[in-house]
Amino acid sequence: MALWRGSAYAGFLALAVGCVLLLEPQLPGSALRSLWSSLQLAPAPPGPGSPEGRLAAAWDALIVRPARRWRRVAVGVNACVDVVLSGVKLLEALGLSPGNGKDHTILHSRNDLEEAFIHFMGKGVAAERFFSDKEAFHDIAQIASELPGAQHYVGGNAALIGQKFAANSDLKQVFPAVTSLGLNEQELLFLSQAASGPHSSLSSWNGVPDVGMVSDILFWILKEHGRSKSRASDLTRIHFHTLVYHILATVDGHWANQLAAVAAGARVAGTQACATETIDASRVSLRAPREFMTSHSEAGSRIVIDPSRPVAEWHREGVSFHFTPVLVCKDPVRTVGLGDAISAEGLFYSEARPHY
């Protein structure tokens, strides 16, 4: 219907301009151009029929709570206060001007901070670095905290995950075995590099992490370091999240409801970053690869993503993979703690199958 409506409008516009030329052939060209530009149709904002709208609606239909609810939750004890502000404004307040970017494994000074910020800002990725000078760090933190517009939030993995579970569960006990991990692209590649795993020769990801490479590393972690009859590890689940897509990898037989879980984790990435209760299709964009190979270490399959069916699933030697795109917030309001919110939301919708 929208296509026919647009065509009809264009036809009426052409007819109107034609009548003007017939009745007033001497009308100046500038007047005609002004008339035509004033009649241009603006593109319609993304709505329910857009890829973003269809994907969000498909998520809502897929996300259901697990049949078995969580009774025990393990949460660590670390907590802090996150200060959220413009990095550029902080550099200005510190008397630093933009220069050449350079990565530093450890930050020792304000100049190191400036160079690391510019380096990672240019790549469009987040980074965490240790600051060795205690006094200099506290000075920077104090200046940041007092800048106009600075926002303060509860931070730290344990506090953020605990908040998420406290909002959805009234039973908070601790269990000793670690069965699930949440990782971003930097952490995943670091694990592979540290243990000479798949694609460990990569120094860093070139833009969006390749889905097939990510899948290879996830499979290797679960096969080589996850649960088995001969290994004490209880690890059976990994939730990988990067800016434009998520993957849940699980050892078969240990987890259920992972289709809903991966969709829930991706959905909260869009809502929290945009500070909205639900996905606003006009404020997000679909940037994930529309097709990809599931592996580069072996003969993988090619998968094409349909926004109306946004979760793709494949299997490899006893490990199941669930992939979904992320609707990326165009103008993010709050990204601090986003990874923790993603992990907690995905875990909340997961169903752990008991093994005795």
Just list the catalytic residues.
340
Instruction: Tell me the residue ranges of DSSP E strands in the chain.
Output: 80-84, 106-107, 130-131, 151-155, 180-183, 237-241, 245-251, 255-256, 284-286, 291-293, 302-304, 312-316, 319-325, 327-329, 351-352
- Helices marked H in 226-291 — which ranges? 258-274
Partners of 43 in beta bridges = none
Name which of 220, 215, 213, 219 is nearest 197 in CA terms.
Answer: 220
- Which CA distances in Å does 322 have to 118, 234, 288, 303? 35, 20, 14, 12
Residue 303 near residue 294, CB atoms below 8 Å: yes
User: How many residues does the structure list for the chain?
Assistant: 356
Question: What string of DSSP letters covers 305-320?
Answer: -BTTB--EEEEETTEE
Q: Would residue 48 be called left, alpha or beta, if left means φ above 0 and alpha means ψ between -120 and 50 degrees?
A: alpha
**Cα–Cα dist 237/40, whole Å:** 52
∠ CA 211-215-216, rounded to 5°: 120
| In the block, residue with structure tokens 């404004």 | 89
